């Protein structure tokens, strides 16, 4: 899924902050026990998410798509002392693993893990967010973006994962999934309410700042 070769990836890792023991454990157990482990953010992207979170010191964070909780913990590293992170996911089969992972972290009391259809559970949250990370079912990226936009403060960030789709967005002939990604990217490019850029980190992350 990474857009750069293995040697350069290792060089980048050698110059960034190390993973905590807990994050290493989550990475290892996800790869051993969970289907489609490539969905996990991993070391380098995790440090990018952590850095972005720390740069804005959010009081409220929303994550759509928990998976096994790796990115959740990375994002929580930037929370203010009284900050909260809401993470939404639909996969009940991973609940025990995820709750155990959070219980081992320093941020357990600041994380609100909510199971259910995000398009429904999101409506129950009466919060204004400083930072939103969208990493769920890609066909609904635009739907989630529209749902959260008015809930993000001025100057807040919306981060969307997998927007380069293993480079398939370059293809002239695109399958349905790739067209969904391209349609979303075009939507953001045309949105004059935000500043935006894509970082070629892992599978591409869109950094979107609300004006």
Residue 204: strand, helix, or coil: coil
Quick check: is 101 in a domain?
A: yes
> Helix (H, G, I), strand (E, B), or coil: what is residue 205?
strand
List the domain range (segments joined by +) for residue 37: 6-210
Domain contains 53: yes
Of 1-10, 77-86, 181-190, the poorest mean pLDDT is in 1-10
Residue 1 lies in a domain: no
In a domain, 180, yes or no: yes
Question: Binning pLDDT at 50, 70 and 90, where does residue 141 land?
Answer: very high
pTM over 0.85: yes
Which spans in the chain are helix H?
A: 6-14, 21-33, 42-56, 70-76, 95-103, 118-121, 141-149, 176-189
Q: How many domains does the chain have?
A: 1
CB atoms within 10 A of CB 173: 6
The pLDDT of residue 177: 94
Cα separation, 119 vs 147, in Å, equals 8
Tens-place pLDDT, residues 153-203: 999 999 999 999 999 999 999 999 999 999 999 999 999 999 999 999 999
Q: Is residue 26 part of a domain?
A: yes
Model pLDDT for residues 97-129, shown as the tens digit of each residue = 999 999 999 999 999 999 999 999 999 999 999
């Amino acid at each position: 899924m990474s857009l750069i070769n293995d040697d350069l990836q290792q060089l980048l890792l050698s110059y960034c902050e190390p993973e905590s023991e807990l994050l290493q454990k989550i990475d290892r157990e996800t790869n051993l026990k969970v289907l489609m482990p490539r969905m996990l953010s991993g070391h380098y992207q995790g440090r990018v998410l952590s850095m972005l979170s720390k740069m804005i010191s959010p009081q409220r964070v929303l994550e759509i798509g928990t998976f096994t909780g790796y990115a959740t913990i990375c994002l929580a590293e930037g929370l203010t002392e009284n900050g909260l992170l809401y993470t939404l996911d639909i996969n009940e089969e991973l609940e025990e693993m995820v709750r155990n992972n959070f219980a081992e972290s320093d941020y357990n009391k600041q994380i609100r893990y909510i199971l259910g259809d995000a398009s429904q559970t999101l409506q129950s949250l009466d919060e204004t967010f400083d930072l939103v990370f969208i990493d769920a079912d890609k066909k609904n990226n635009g739907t989630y973006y529209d749902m959260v936009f008015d809930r993000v403060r001025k100057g807040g960030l919306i981060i969307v994962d997998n927007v380069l789709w293993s480079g398939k967005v370059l293809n002239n002939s695109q399958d349905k999934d790739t067209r969904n990604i391209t349609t979303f990217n075009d939507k953001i490019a045309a949105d004059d309410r935000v500043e935006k850029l894509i970082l070629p980190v892992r599978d591409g992350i869109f950094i979107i700042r609300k004006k």
